[in-house]
């Protein structure tokens, strides 16, 4: 049995201040506190190691969790958040480019190949990365109990793939993916048989208490 405790990174100053996050966005003080709570909650879960996205807010979260657990970290590029058009990074939620993104995202919500101005990562590309992650986890990490630090949109996609299967063109998949959300510091347990063929989600987006 493989047990994966997925942790969304803690909150950031950009997020709290109404700006879009970038790969370099660091945790805020609140976010560091959320990461500490996640580490404390995971302390008795027999975690063997921590996997993490290399993006700064996830890396900092993983470092706090790993220190609490006294475990090593392995950074996997495959765990990063959906990459956006670089022009969006750091932009205010009141900026014209964000407003354009919001309008076009709604218009293209069923188009998994859409990218703002043709740049960044499409939903299809992100979900294909999620399918690739399932293979990586079921191979190298089969049978292990891990803490995995990643990001909201990618985690929502990965959990949807585990619950609804890898055909992400179905109505059932799209409905699940569209409605799923993960809070900063939220923890979700994903389990799989040893070879990664069968997946379960016993709980989702648990918020550790202080």
Residue 79 maps to which CATH number? 3.40.50.1240
Task: Please state, in angstroms and as integers, the Cα–Cα distance from residue 43 to each residue in 40, 65, 67, 138, 204, following that order.
Answer: 5, 9, 10, 24, 18
Residue 103 has pLDDT above 90, yes or no: yes
> Side by side, which strands form the sheet with 73-75?
73-75, 49-52, 145-150, 2-8, 187-192, 199-206
| pLDDT single digits (tens) 128-167 | 999 999 999 988 999 999 999 999 999 999 999 999 999 9
3-state secondary structure of 34: helix
Residue 161: the pLDDT is: 95
Domain for residue 17, yes or no? yes
Range of the domain at 51: 2-84+124-206
Name the burial class of residue 17, with classes exposed (0-12), middle (13-18) and buried (19+) by CB atoms within 10 angstroms of its CB.
exposed
Domain for residue 105, yes or no? no
| pLDDT single digits (tens) 167-210 | 999 999 999 998 999 999 999 999 998 666 789 999 999 999 75
| pLDDT single digits (tens) 51-80 | 999 999 999 999 999 999 999 999 999 999
Percent of the chain topping pLDDT 70: 98
115, two tokens = 């990218």
118, two tokens = 């043709």
Domain for residue 163, yes or no? yes
Residue whose C-alpha is closest to residue 162's, from 110, 118, 200: 200
Residue 210: the pLDDT is: 54
H/E stretch holding 126 reads helix 123-139
Domain for residue 188, yes or no? yes
Average pLDDT of the residues in 27-40: 97
Count of domains in the chain? 1
């Amino acid at each position: 049995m493989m047990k994966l405790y997925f942790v969304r990174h803690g909150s950031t100053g950009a997020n709290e201040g109404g700006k879009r996050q970038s790969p370099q966005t660091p945790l805020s003080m609140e976010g560091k506190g959320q990461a500490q709570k996640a580490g404390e909650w995971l302390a008795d879960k027999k975690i063997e190691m921590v996997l993490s996205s290399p993006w700064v807010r996830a890396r900092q979260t993983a470092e706090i969790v790993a220190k609490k657990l006294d475990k090593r970290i392995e950074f996997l590029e495959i765990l990063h958040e959906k990459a956006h058009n670089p022009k969006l990074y750091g932009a205010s939620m009141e900026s014209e480019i964000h407003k354009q993104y919001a309008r076009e995202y709604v218009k293209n919500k069923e188009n998994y190949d859409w990218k703002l101005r043709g740049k960044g990562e499409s939903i299809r590309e992100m979900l294909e990365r999620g399918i690739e992650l399932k293979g990586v986890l079921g191979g190298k990490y089969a049978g292990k109990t891990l803490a995995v630090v990643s990001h909201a949109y990618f985690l929502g996609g990965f959990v949807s793939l585990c619950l609804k299967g890898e055909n992400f063109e179905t109505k059932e998949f799209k409905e699940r993916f569209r409605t799923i959300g993960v809070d900063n510091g939220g923890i979700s347990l994903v389990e799989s048989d040893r070879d990664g063929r069968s997946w379960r989600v016993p709980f989702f987006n648990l918020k550790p208490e202080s």
